[in-house]
Structure 1
Amino acid sequence: MLTVKMLKPYYIKTENDYVRIILAYQYFALFINEKVYQFVPTKAKEIQINRRTQKVVNTDALFAFQKGKDVIQVAMSELISIPDFLLQLNEIAKPYYINETEEEINFKNENATIISELEQENIKRLIDQALDDRNRAAFERLVELL
């Protein structure tokens, strides 16, 4: 059985789309079968999270944990199935997530409205042109779009 004993980032790097949580010795430990295993950066060394969707991206990463000479590899897909791991990871990454503000949402809605109005005006101009050209088929097709 896996449980998280400690999860602290060595450092956090943010990019446009991702938060990269870099791990190091002594900052990440798991209880595996009631024994404490320390993270060793021999395989994967970071957790990548999408800043918009807040989901772990590198689910195929393998992390190594060591107790004495015993080394166990745990897949990220297995780690994200542990609720405590996800809670701690979310608390670490939360300040770096990108959340759309109400202002951004209103801006997008205004843009969509303007684009829709421009499309309607363009259809009306094309109807006028079809009437000038006496193109009945184009006129009927364009009227259906209104």
Structure 2
Amino acid sequence: AEIGLLDARSVFGRDHLESAALHAIRGRDSKTMSSRSLAMETLLYASSQRQVQDAIRAAGLRRDTTTVGIVLFGYANVDEFLRDMGWSRDDDVLNAAGKDVEAFGISRREAETVATTHRADLALEKVALLDVQK
């Protein structure tokens, strides 16, 4: 079992996190992972970075992290895991609303090409583009 933890400020919706995890699983299955673990590969995809150090800087936990996005691999019951850790679940922290897409590497010009309500789609696009950059 593996656990991936990301600063929730760098997550632009549940779909963003799920897409990163699915890309990581696909990379493992096709033996094309850039890292040694699903958790780290998910961080690479979620941050749209090719280098581990850059991914940690972009989406990893920091001293000022107050909300966390969690990806569990090999756990059957998420709520049981959270209870065992003494954590509570609030999926709203993953929502893209109010988050700075420029901090994610999306230019203001790119962001203006879509409605504010669809800016999370730009994050999904960057996740998918990482495969092309590899």
Q: TM-score under structure 1 normalisation? A: 0.22
More strand by share: 1
Greater helix content? 2
| Rg comparison, structure with higher value | 1
Q: Which has the higher contact order (CA 8 A, sep 6+)?
A: 2
